């Protein structure tokens, strides 16, 4: 083993130090591959989870949903829905719109207009501080948003909307799950009427309903359809969640496929960079074999070398992967990628098993690449004898690619290709 380690220190490390660019490219290949191993599955899983959680937060516990045309519908529909037998709670679903808050207008908030009397029956509002909404001019603010901007309870803030500027008083700070999780906590909750003022009209977008116990949803739907104007549609809220679930399934499939492709490319990259690095030292292997190094020792030497660079590249690759994940978590927004979903930043967390798999791939694949090709290059015949002054690989490739054209040229010029025995000194 001492001889193998001496060979590794004397030839492998020296070779790497001399061919800095080649070594750097080999390491970069491993770094890129391992970073991909960390980044791609994490991103896919995080996006899928974020979509699911956002959907759950917004849909809440609603059983049915009434929808209207794009421009909205008259609030009278809400009163009608409440009179239909079997309906337990009917609330105007949040009027979601983005506005800015002075003095920091750069990052828009999501504003939800709610009916405080009924909305808590459908969605979760966890108050970290203060109280729930009682009257016009009051707002609940995401605690994280307030903390980032130094806003506190009972402070007055100015909300900038398309219809003008409006002053509100912060009466509660939301935290934890439910509504506070929407848009990564950058959320402002106010009474529906205040939100209508911000929006500039009184129309409703949707109505969410919960049913009394043991009610047949289809029977209630039929009654609602009969009572409401024909321009409104009534569906199971589950259908909406089902649609979200379908989208999520599709997203999972697309991200899974993309991850698989990226991981395949990453694995190939890791394997190939090491295999090429070994191939480029074919002449050196030939000399070592001629000087009395056994196949096994050549293998050991390259496996140690591959493991060394694999470990080095993997550690750097994992750091890069984590940095990419953090960067994606901070900069990606679901609204950019998935317009039908509510706003919500991706919370990217690397699963515990992933670094182990990445390390295994980052070290194992290069070691395999070092192990497999090394023994096949033995100076077993004079034609394969070690010569260091062979032409560069690119020249050999160019000659090989030129061969068919050269043959055509011979035929067209009337020269018959001869199969001369090779000459050898």
Binding site residues, other proteins, CB under 8 A:
2-3, 6-7, 10-11, 14-15, 17-18, 283-284, 286-297, 378-383, 385-389, 419-425
Least Å from the CB of residue 418 to other proteins: 10
Complex with other proteins: residue 136 or 290, whichever CB lies closer: 290
Q: Would you say 7 or 354 has its CB closer to other proteins?
A: 7
Could you tell me how far CA 48 lies from the centroid of its own chain? Answer: 8
Least separation in angstroms between CB 8 and other proteins: 11
CB of 278 to other proteins, least distance (A): 15
Q: How far is the CB of 293 from other proteins (least distance, A)?
A: 5
CB nearer other proteins, residue 294 or residue 326: 294
Shortest reach from residue 17's CB to other proteins, in Å:
8
Distance in angstroms (rounded) separating the CA atoms of residues 84 and 334: 37
Closest to other proteins by CB, 112 vs 298, is: 298
Q: How far is the CB of 409 from other proteins (least distance, A)?
A: 19
Report the residue number, 42 or 300, with the smaller CB distance to other proteins.
300
Q: Minimum distance between the CB of residue 13 and other proteins, rounded to whole angstroms? A: 9
**Closer residue to other proteins, CB minimum distance, 15 or 241:** 15
Closest to other proteins by CB, 290 vs 323, is 290
């Amino acid at each position: 083993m001492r001889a193998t380690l001496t060979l590794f220190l004397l030839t492998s490390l020296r070779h790497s130090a001399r061919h800095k660019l080649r070594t750097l490219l080999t390491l970069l290949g491993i770094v890129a591959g391992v970073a991909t191993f960390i980044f791609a599955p994490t991103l896919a899983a995080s996006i899928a989870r974020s979509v699911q959680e956002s959907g759950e937060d917004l849909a809440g516990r609603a059983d049915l949903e009434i929808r209207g045309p794009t421009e909205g519908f008259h609030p009278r529909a809400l009163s009608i829905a409440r009179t239909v037998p079997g309906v337990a709670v009917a609330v105007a679903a949040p009027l979601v719109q983005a506005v800015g808050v002075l003095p920091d207008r750069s990052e828009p908030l999501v504003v939800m207009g709610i009916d405080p009397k009924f909305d808590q029956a459908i969605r979760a509002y966890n108050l970290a501080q203060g109280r729930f909404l009682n009257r016009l001019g009051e707002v609940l603010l995401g605690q994280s948003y307030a903390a980032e901007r130094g806003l506190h309870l009972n402070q007055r803030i100015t909300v900038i909307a398309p219809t003008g500027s409006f002053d509100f008083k912060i009466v509660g700070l939301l935290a934890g799950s439910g509504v506070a999780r929407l848009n990564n906590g950058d959320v402002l909750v106010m009474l529906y009427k205040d939100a209508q003022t911000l929006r500039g009209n009184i129309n409703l977008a949707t109505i969410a309903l919960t049913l009394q116990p043991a009610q047949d949803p289809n029977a209630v739907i039929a009654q609602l359809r009969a009572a409401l104007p024909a321009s409104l549609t009534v569906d199971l809220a589950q259908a909406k969640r089902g649609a979200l679930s379908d989208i999520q399934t599709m997203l999972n499939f697309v991200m899974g496929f993309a991850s698989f492709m990226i991981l395949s490319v990453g694995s190939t990259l890791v394997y190939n960079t090491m295999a090429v690095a070994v191939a480029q030292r074919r002449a050196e292997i030939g000399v070592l074999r001629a000087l009395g190094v056994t196949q096994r020792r050549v293998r050991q030497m390259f496996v140690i070398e591959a493991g060394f660079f694999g470990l080095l590249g993997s550690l750097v690759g994992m750091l890069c992967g984590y940095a990419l994940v953090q960067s994606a978590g901070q900069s990606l927004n679901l609204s950019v990628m998935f317009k039908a979903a509510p706003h919500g930043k991706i919370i990217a967390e690397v699963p515990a098993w992933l670094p182990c798999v990445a390390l295994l791939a980052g070290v194992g694949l290069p070691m395999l690449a070092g192990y497999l090709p090394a023994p096949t290059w033995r100076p077993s015949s004079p034609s394969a004898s070690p010569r260091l002054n062979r032409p560069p690989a690119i020249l050999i490739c160019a000659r090989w690619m030129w061969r068919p054209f050269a043959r055509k040229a011979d035929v067209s010029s009337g020269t018959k290709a001869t199969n001369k025995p090779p000459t050898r000194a």
